[in-house]
Amino acid sequence: MTSSPSDTGTATEAVETPTVHPLQEYADRVAEAVEGTATITFDTVKVEVPADRWVPALTTARDDLGLVFFSWLSAVDWASEVEVGDPFPGEVEDRFEVLAMVGDISEGRRVIFFTTLPKDSPSIASLVEVFAGANWHEREAYEMFGIDFEGHPNLIHLYLPDAFQGNPLRKSFPLLSREVKPWPGTVDVEAMPGSGDEEEPADGPSEDNPEA
Amino acid sequence: MVLDQDLVRHLSESSVSVELETEEMTLNIGPQHPSTHGVLRLVARVDGERAFDVQPVIGYMHRGYEKLSEVRTYPQITTLVNRIDWVSGYANEVPFIVAAEKLLGIEVPERAQFIRLILCEMARISSHLIFMASYPLELGAATPLFFALRERERVLDLLEGVTGGRFHPNFNRIGGVKPAYGSGSSTRKVIQDLPVGFLAETRDAMDKVLEAVDELEELVADNEIIRARTKGIGILPPEVAASYGVSGPNLRASGVKFDLRKIEDYLPYHLFDFEIPVGESGDCWDRWHVRLLEIRQSVRIVQQAIDGIPSGPLQAKVPKVIKVPLGETYVRAENPKGEMGYYLVSNGNQGPYRLKIRSASFSNISILPWILEGVLVPDIIAIMGSLDFVLGDVDR
């Protein structure tokens, strides 16, 4: 489910020819090595691994696949109800998606490993022992999403003051500036969201995007 | 005989100083220290002249761009992202716009791509010139600053001439660069292309930059003090750098020949002939030298791009209200500071559902606790400066 929406986008329709993506072979190889499942969305290789195999999978990636470069770790809050921005169309299974991007430093291979965590008390093993750089990224994900990283040596706030309450990047966390003044900037194009008369701009020419 | 006495005295003195008890002390550097390039705070625990534990404290400039992006439209977000690393604001916009274009499936006209590429390289030159100015200054040499800033001003003037902004160009649009026609209800269509004489002036500026780089090299490279303070200081082995996600010139200084311009296709770099300078030992000296050499390569790229810039439209056809189709992608670029990337999750609307910003300086300074362990206090400044970070790029 996780990344299947991306495959239904226009890009796959535009390239209707049944060609195999040039990265497919590599993605399959990675997935096999870490016992996960691979998807390719817009030239980005994503490999899903179960949460309990998170650390072994990334250790394999580093040691056997040569993905020694730790680029970033973050999360996506998948929520059916959102306080800020627009919700995801259709049904969304409430969950956290934790992503870690690693790459090599020779050929430019890169893979985003991800796993799914439940909304209540999300917790996952820390990657700090595998990639030292995960330290700050996990602290950021901890304060922004409230995800607990077991075994992290110093799991404290990174950006926010120690006394800060809440997890700002969760979709349930309201953005105060938007509560006070909703969405400037689109006034000349269409009605503001939440002002009652939603949607369709009369002057929007050639809307060729599928409204899912 | 005399010599022996000297030796004895020297030995006795040094044994005294060894046995001299020094008290452990906590030293706060920043957040307002000039060498911290903004508002970085270091909590250093020192024993005499040695720091044995240095912990950076960041977040003084956290602006919450990832959250703000969720309530803004794609065109509005370019004004946010060019404030991440303001020393090379233009270069920050490009990977973000390319990510959105990738989801939309838009082909950007060649001329627009060339303009993006020229401006990106000019942003790199101006960013590296800032480093050429500030780094020797932090080591006590003020003169290079004047040489470097003079040329940087020339480059920024040109950038401003095209985009209207020195630091925050906001020049990229989905599908190309700035709208090709005058906006509003005006029926008169004003074609906005590059300003008259821009290409010739840029060519001229590039020659001057090359001259300045030669001067800078002469001034700094042969300076005994700078050599003594940078050679062999702050050595960063490539495998440590990779595990911390240190990228860009800092990684290449450690001898890793890895440049995203040669790998990713966000801009047509494959059309150009340029080299990837690498360092040997990964010390402060190499980090300075690699950036110096990179300026020369960037100048080469700009010169080739000026010669080969095609004519044509500046913008692809895009709908007036841009709704990006469902999908997720990660686009990364070789920015002056290192790997800059955007992980974009679209929910089919006018703004992203989630935008993860991978900024280079964040990972680059996460190495500080490791690299500053056990160094002399003055070397803290030398090492920190050599990593060339900007706090806006750290805190986002």
ipTM computed for the complex: 0.83
Which is nearest to A8 in space by CA: A32, A42, A58, A38? Answer: A42
Q: What is the number of domains present in chain B?
A: 1
pLDDT in tens, A137-187: 999 999 999 999 999 998 888 888 888 888 888 888 887 776 776 665 555
Q: A24-34 vs A54-63: helix axis angle to the nearest 10?
A: 120
How much is the pLDDT for A137?
93
Cβ(B289)–Cβ(B260) under 8 Å?
no
Contacts of B78 in chain A (CB under 8 A): none
Q: Is the Cβ of A9 closer than 8 Å to some Cβ of chain B?
A: yes
Query: What was the pLDDT predicted at A202?
Result: 43
What CATH code is carried by the domain that includes residue B46? 1.10.645.10
Give how far A35 is from chain B: nearest CA, Å. 22
Minimum distance, in Å, between the CA of residue B371 and any CA atom of chain A: 12
Is residue B95, in this structure, part of any structural domain at all?
yes
- Residue span of the structural domain in which B187 resides: 25-395
**pLDDT at A9 (0 to 100):** 42
> Which residues is A116 bridged to in the sheet?
A97
Assess if residue B2 is contained within a domain.
no
Residues of A in contact with B76 (CB under 8 A): 185
Q: Is B64 within 8 Å of chain A by CB?
A: yes
| A 172-191 residues with CB < 8 A to B | 173, 175, 178, 183, 185-186, 189-190
Phi, psi of B48 (to 5 degrees): 65, -125
pLDDT given for residue B182 in this prediction: 44
Q: Which residues contact A67 (CB under 8 A, 6 or more apart)?
A: A61, A102, A103, A104, A109, A110, A111
What per-residue confidence (pLDDT) applies to B358?
92
Per-residue pLDDT of chain A (212 residues; tens, 9 = 90+): 344 444 444 444 444 556 788 888 888 888 888 888 888 888 888 999 999 889 999 999 889 888 999 999 999 998 888 877 778 887 888 889 999 999 998 888 899 999 999 988 899 999 999 999 999 999 999 999 999 999 999 888 888 888 888 888 888 888 777 677 666 555 545 554 555 544 444 444 434 444 43
Which residues does residue B355 pair with via DSSP β-bridges, in sequence order? B344
A129-153 exposure pattern, b = at least 16 Cβ within 10 A, e = fewer: ebbbbbbbbbbbbbbbbbbbbeebe
Position A7 scores a pLDDT of 44
Q: Is residue B3 part of a domain?
A: no
CA A5 to chain B, closest CA, distance in angstroms equals 6
Residue with tokens 């077991």: A150
> For B312, how many CA atoms within 13 A lie in the half-sphere containing its CB?
15
The reply to whether B390 touches chain A by the CB within 8 Å rule is no
> Does B383 fall in a domain?
yes
**A23 touches B: beta carbon within 8 Å:** no
Res B171: pLDDT:
85
Beta-carbon separation of A85 and B62 below 8 A: no
pLDDT tens track, chain B, 396 positions: 455 666 656 555 555 555 566 778 888 887 777 766 778 888 888 888 888 888 898 888 888 899 888 888 888 898 888 888 888 888 999 999 999 999 988 889 888 899 999 999 999 999 999 999 989 888 888 888 888 898 899 899 888 888 878 888 888 888 888 754 444 444 455 556 777 788 888 999 999 999 999 988 988 888 888 888 888 888 999 999 999 999 999 999 999 999 999 888 889 999 999 999 999 888 999 999 999 999 999 999 999 999 988 888 788 888 878 888 888 999 999 999 999 999 999 988 888 999 999 999 999 999 999 998 888 888 888 898 898 888 888 888
User: How high is the pLDDT of residue B210?
Assistant: 92
The secondary element (H helix, E strand) that includes residue A111 is: strand A110-117
DSSP A140-199: HHHHHH--EEET-TT---SSS-TT--S-TTSTTS--HHHHHS--TT-TTTSPPTTSSS--
How close is the nearest chain A Cα to the Cα of B134, in Å? 26
How far apart, in whole angstroms, are the C-alpha atoms of residue B147 and residue B150?
5
pLDDT score recorded for residue B300: 92
Question: Which pLDDT value is given to residue A198?
Answer: 43
Q: How many cross-chain Cβ pairs, A to B, lie less than 8 Å apart?
A: 178
Q: Provide the pLDDT for residue A101.
A: 93
Distances in whole angstroms, Cα of residue A23 to Cα of each of A64, A84, B67, B307, B368: 18, 35, 32, 34, 35
Residue B18 lies in a domain: no
Q: Specify the pLDDT at position B4.
A: 65
